[in-house]
Amino acid sequence: MSPNTMTLRNSRELLVAVPYLLGFYPQNSLVVLTLRRSRLGLTARVDLPEREQPRALQLSVESLMPAILREAPDTAVLIAYEDAAGDAVPVLVRLSEALRAHGVDLKDRIVVSNGRWRSLDCDNPACCPTEGTPVPASRDAAAVTAEFVGAGVAPHATRQDLARMVEASDGARPVGRLLGAPQFAASPAMSPEEVAAVIKRVLVSGGQCRRPSSEDVARAALAVRDVQVRDVVAAWVCPGTVDAEMFEPAARELLVALAGISPSAELSGEALRERRDRLLQVCTMLPDAHATAWLTILASFSWWRGEGALTRVALDRALRSNPDYGLALLLERMVDLGIRPPE
């Protein structure tokens, strides 16, 4: 996610922005940024394929092209972050050929290696020395980082660090014990008002920083086993995305009860960041066997917010726990195709 008004003036500022756009500092990665009429569109990342494996090179290109072409970009920027010198060039050449064959011009092709960067398309030693230029730090483009920091965006050191944010914590043990207790699992179904009250307690902090109670998280996990309840909660955390008339009467009743908690008009950027943090808390307090629905709600929310990396890691854990979970599979396919929510 990036602020809508940001202007990136050169490759240095772009290199500073990429970790913020991805949510982590890329390693051994190929990053594609598409532009249309000079506006940044899709930012996509895949692992850098091994240069000795032609099939892996081709698969990397094939995995990226559908999402890129959906954007109908005028130009693209390719940035490869390589662990070993020379690893990046084969895939950059292959992807460049595929893009040009579809009428997409290349604004630049950059290789980042060993803390330095160079452009494959500049042979002027005055600006592109053969040994490369040191990768700029955040402080070297303070205006860029200030925009992201102001929006509450900060990159993680690695993708693995980001993925750990959605994994089960020690708080999952008491919740798992509750959900494993026969008398708790056999509790009577909650009314829409009761479900709304539980959702309020787990997702709306009311100014309190403490995490939700184990019992509330367990009850929230039981509630979203009902697909209609799950879909209503997913719609409510992304205000304005779904028409209430799409739901059955009972589900609309829950949506009305939830709407009374926090009207969408009051959701500032800070409130949305708090909602993301509370969703993360809920997911980390659930053991794998009971986390899939809430992880998918988190993925839906982060996709709607433009946080593609968080969407990916939430879906990774959701599908690891339940490989056949339909909504998670649908979201994964949408992300693979580069489908984004309407602005």
Domain ranges (residues) in the chain: 11-157, 165-336
Distance separating alpha carbons of residues 107 and 121, to the nearest angstrom: 9
pLDDT, position 255? 82
| Residue 105, strand partner residues | 75
pTM of the model as a whole: 0.87
**What is the rounded CA–CA span in Å between residue 251 and residue 228?**
6
Series of mean pLDDT values for 10-residue runs along the chain (343 residues):
59 92 94 90 89 83 91 94 91 95 95 94 84 88 82 88 96 96 86 91 72 94 94 88 78 80 57 90 97 98 91 97 96 89 72
CATH 3.40.50.300, domain 11-157, yes or no? no
On whether the CB atoms of residues 63 and 92 are closer than 8 A, the answer is no
> Is residue 329 within 8 Å of 319, Cβ to Cβ?
yes
Question: How, if at all, do strands 105-113 and 75-82 pair?
Answer: parallel
313 residue type, one letter: V
What pLDDT, on a 0 to 100 scale, did the predictor assign at position 262? Answer: 46
Radius of gyration of the chain (CA): 22
Those residues whose C-beta lies under 8 Å from the C-beta of residue 338, and which sit 6 or more positions away, are 42, 44, 66, 67, 68, 70, 71
pLDDT for 55 equals: 86
Task: Give the distance between the most distant pair of CA atoms in the chain.
Answer: 74
Kindly state the tokens that stand for 88. Answer: 């990046």
What residue has token string 């290696």? 113
The pLDDT value recorded for residue 297 is 97
Burial 298-337 (b: 16+ CB within 10 A, else e): bbbbbbbbbbbbbbbbbbbbbbebbeebebbbebbeebee
Query: Are the CB atoms for 99 and 68 separated by under 8 Å?
Result: yes
Predicted pLDDT of residue 263: 42
Report the alpha-carbon distance of residue 311 to residue 262 in Å, rounded.
Answer: 24
3-state secondary structure of 330: helix
